[in-house]
Structure 1
Amino acid sequence: MISRLHPSYRACGMVALLVIAAPLVGCSTYLQTQEHAERIITNRQRQTARLQTSQVRQSPAIESPSKRLPDVESVVSERPVDAYVREALERNPGIQAAIAHARAQLERIPQVTSLADPILRAVTRPEPIQTAAGDVYFTFSISQTFPLLAKLERSGDIAAAQTRLALEQLNSKRIQVIADVERAYWQIYRVDRNLEITRENRRVLEDLSHVVETQYEVGDVPQQDLLRVQTEIAKLRDDERRLMFQRRTAAAALNRLADQAIDRQIPTINPVNVIAVDSDVDDLIQLAANHNPELAILNESISAKEAQVELARLGYWPDLTLGFEWNYLEGRDSFVPPINPSTGQRPAYSRKSEVGDDNWAVMLQFNLPIWTGRVEAAKREAHQRLIAAKKEQHDTENMIAFRVFDAWSRVQAQQHTLRVLDDELIPQSRQTYEVTLTAYQSGKSDFVALIDHWRRWLDFELMRHRETVDLELAFTDLQREVGMQLLRNESANNERADSAKGASQ
């Protein structure tokens, strides 16, 4: 009896081995991907590259331009906008949604690498099957399908690549939120500087109004000069009110990104020095090729599709199903043959049916992948999707290279405009206004010329801060396309910026 059970022991051992080996296929993939995911989710530190700015154009100073940089360990100088960036990275609902999506995608790995549920089968027969061993009233069976382990591995690779893709989408969302915060911040900065200049010029015109009023009272100037200066003052007051409404809108945009009350007050932003960006555009394009989040997303998409191609090639391998079946038998009276008249004896007969011994069986089955058209179509589909992903990656590389070049060109153009404003236009227009004011006070110039020169000086002052904001916005776009925070060297620019600030004052 024991020797008859040995095959069942061997079959059970094989089933147990497959049951243990199959989950291990996805376990290591899940743990590795989970560790990587938690590291990305919990780390909000931005990758950085320092731009060496000097009289001679230099390249970004990085350790290894051919691969993604490690997390920054050095302390980066704090900027006023960084506090709002940290707040948005912690509270932004879009980022939280991307984190939840990545964690949800991670849980796909154990699902696609797990075995299918076993099938339990129970059959009750009101009319039993009569066999020589007895009547079969009840049958119980259990079976488990075991796909090729390589299929589970490839399915796990696809899910892991899709999880990494979701993590790159999280990085992309963070970079986009950072860019949006900086854009909102610099819009507030622009409004604050315009308000500051508008108020200063209103006070200048109010002082001038007292001079004109005094001269009008003694008959040295016509009434139209007094009315003109009062009109300009009223216009500046209206500009102040309009700018205040614009500031509320810009502050609301910043608060929305940080998931704060829409009417939370944002303190006035102090003036900043203009920091030049002097780096080679080819090096910036190389940085973008290694760190741009859109390209990172496409890289993971290609990894998933490569695993899908390998999975499609395994379509010809059948899936194995192992099972065990047990039949319950009840004994019945044996058939007793009649006595042979010739011999006067009863023939020999079997009494086995009276015992009713149960029987069992080990089942082995597998599918036959004979419909090759389906498998070949799946292989062609996976191959074409891989080609499409690679072509999309190439197209995106070209687009990102263009966007980097466009942002870099705008940065260079804004820097040139600021140099002209600081070194020529603002000092000259201010000097022209002061000379005209002196001439007007001595009766050698008319009021129209004085107002025109004042307006030109005001326009250049406003233009300088507008160009400063446009420079920072272009630099923000450049950082977003590169996928890193670009650190500029302030020491090379402080002298010119301080001199420009003094001339402006």
Structure 2
Amino acid sequence: MRKVFIIIGLLVFHFTNAQQLEGFIQEALKSNPEIQKFELQYNIASEKVNEVNTLPNTEFGVGYFASEPETRTGAQRFKVSVKQMLPWFGNITARENYVSSLADAKYEDIVIAKRKLMASISQSYYNLYANTAKQNVLIENIKLLDTYETLALTSVEVGKASVVDVLRLQMRQNELDQLKQVLEQQYLAEQTNFNKLLNRDKNIAVNTIDELIMPSEDIELTSQNLEVHPELLKYDKLYQSIEQSELLNQKDSNPMIGFGLDYINVEKRPDMNFSDNGKDIVMPMVSLSIPIFNKKYKSQTKQNTLKKLEINAQKEERFNTLETILDKALNDRISARITYATQTKNLKQAKEAEKILIKSYETGTIDFNDVLDIQELQLKFEMNQIESVKSYYVQTTIINYLSN
């Protein structure tokens, strides 16, 4: 977990806002209801160790002779008995080990949930950044169109442009304003998602970084340790729990031994006088419970064998899925860097074209159709540039989730 925070720190090394991404993650780990749910489930599973560390119930019995049987020493009045069965040696320990192994598997659910929460918060944060950055780009482009509109109005006055050019610029402004309003609504929805991951009020403002740049080089993340990912370790823990279940099954197939004591109250015979007259009866007892018909335990052994095969298959399937996701994230991150480089190059050329058009205005030959085309291309390149940066960090978050 500490290594994950270090990597996140590298990813947001230029984060100057008061609330850092790591701070958001720490807050969520403490307050997120899903994490609390898994922690409670783990505590319940751990407490079951105390539940199984017990002996079978002690049996007490009381009987009264409705028809008192006569013996040589007197009539029997009532009978009191007590009996305690004891499991075979090692049975309780086997139960404790089995329950502990189940608790260990539950603990991996906490680790997995925390990792997923960290990834979700990071991705939501980058979505908020990208949304804000796109809104800022739209604001700048709307201002640019205002400038072009002023130029167009001036050109109309001197007969170098038509009113249609002005209307076309205004319609383009309306479109950009519409896009900005849509982004504002999307931002509110993403803000709600982010705040709820931290289990707080949905209207709390989220401060994001002003500019998220493309790193000069990729942060090295080890992918060779995918086999020890918590999602796969959980299958190992489940496998161990089945092994413990089989050991317990073997112990349960052993006999149980019991110890008891019977006490019978005997009434004195009034017509006789001898040494054992009215002597009560005390009878210690030993019993043995043998599972002669043990087909149940043989069936359980076979089930456990099949379960282990099932878990191995599930683990292999999940490993293949995670490896596919990791490989896709690595390739998508490379694609994001390529896209960013291309958009940066295109944006530079679009700005050069814009300068040429502005200079053309000075000579009185500006074409506002070209102006709109260049402005639209410039907006497209800037939006794609922001999206590629966001994609780079989102893919790095996925890689970070899968790497140790």
**TM-score over 0.5 (shorter chain):** yes
**Per-residue CA distance 1:178-229 (angstroms, 9 max, x = gap):** 1111121111111100011111111111112111111111211111111111
1:372 aligns with 2:294: yes
Does the C-alpha gap of structure 1 residues 77 and 204 become closer, same or farther in structure 2, counting only changes over 3 Å?
Answer: closer
How is 1:299-378 mapped onto 2 (pairs within 5 angstroms)? 299-334=236-271, 351=274, 355-378=277-300
Query: Which residue does the alignment assign to 2:375?
Result: 454
Deviation at 1:248, TM superposition (A): 0.6
Matches of residues 390-401 of structure 1 in structure 2 within 5 Å?
390-401=312-323
Amino-acid identity (%): 17
Q: Which amino acid aligns with 2:348?
A: P
* Pair 179,195 (structure 1): closer, same or farther in 2 beyond 3 Å: same
Equivalent position SS for 2:54: coil
- 1:420 aligned onto 2:342: yes
Q: 1:108 is matched with which residue?
A: 48
C-alpha distance in 2 between matches for 1:215 and 1:451: 16
Match of 1:224 in 2: 164
Mark the CA change 1:46 to 1:116 in structure 2 (over 3 Å): closer, same or farther.
farther
- Checking the alignment, whether the CA contact within 8 Å between 2:28 and 2:197 is kept in structure 1 is yes
Aligned residues: 395
Match of 1:29 in 2: none
After TM superposition, list the pairs within 5 Å mapping 1:147-296 onto structure 2.
147-275=87-215, 276-277=217-218, 279=220, 283-284=222-223, 286-290=224-228, 292-296=229-233
Q: Distance in 2 between matches of 1:433 and 1:131?
A: 122
Q: Give the conservation status (yes or no) of the 8 Å contact 1:132–1:352.
A: no
- How far, CA to CA, are the matches of 1:289 and 1:105 in structure 2? 26
- What's the offset of the Cα at 1:333? 3.1
Does the aligned pair in 1 maintain the 2:262–2:284 contact within 8 Å?
yes
> Does the 8 Å contact 1:161/1:300 carry over to 2?
yes
TM-score norm. by structure 2 comes to: 0.92
Residue 72 of structure 1 corresponds to which residue in structure 2?
Answer: none
| Equivalent runs, 1:30-179 vs 2, <5 Å | 45-48=1-4, 80-179=20-119
Tell me which amino acid in the other structure corresponds to 1:458: L
- Quote the offset at 1:309 in angstroms: 1.8
Shift of 1:126: 2.8
| 1:77/1:218 CA distance change after superposition, 3 Å | closer
Amino acid at match of 2:378: W
Contact 2:4 2:400 in 1 (8 A): no
Relative to structure 2, which stretch is displaced further, 428-437 or 240-249? 428-437
Calculate the TM-score normalised by the size of structure 1: 0.74
Deviations 1:222-270 (A, max 9, x none): 1111111111112222222111111111100011111111222223532
Q: 1:88 touches 1:257 (CA, 8 Å); kept in 2?
A: yes
Residues 26-65 of structure 1: CA distance to partner in whole angstroms, max 9, x if unpaired?
xxxxxxxxxxxxxxxxxxx5444978xxxxxxxxxxxxxx
In 2, Cα distance between equivalents of 1:249 and 1:380 = 52
Alpha-carbon offset, residue 278 of structure 1:
5.2
**SS of the residue aligned with 1:165?**
helix
What residue number does 1:67 align with? none
| Contact in 2 for aligned 1:176/1:480 (Cα 8 Å) | yes
The DSSP-based 3-state class of the residue aligned with 2:68 is strand
User: 1:389 corresponds to which residue?
Assistant: 311
8 Å contact 1:312–1:382 — kept in the other structure? no
Structure-2 change in CA distance of 1:117 and 1:242 (3 Å): same
Query: Would the aligned equivalents of 1:192 and 1:269 in 2 still touch at CA under 8 Å?
Result: no
Partner Cα separation in structure 1 for residue 400 and residue 160 of structure 2: 58
- 1:92 corresponds to which letter in structure 2? N
Contact residue 252 and residue 262 of structure 1 kept, 8 A: yes
Q: Give the 3 Å change call, closer, same or farther, for CA 49–188 of structure 1 in structure 2.
A: closer
Task: Judge conservation of contact 1:129–1:135 (CA < 8 Å) in 2.
Answer: yes
CA distance in 2 between partners of 1:256 and 1:310 (Å)? 44
| Aligned counterpart for 1:297 among listed residues 226, 234, 239 | 234
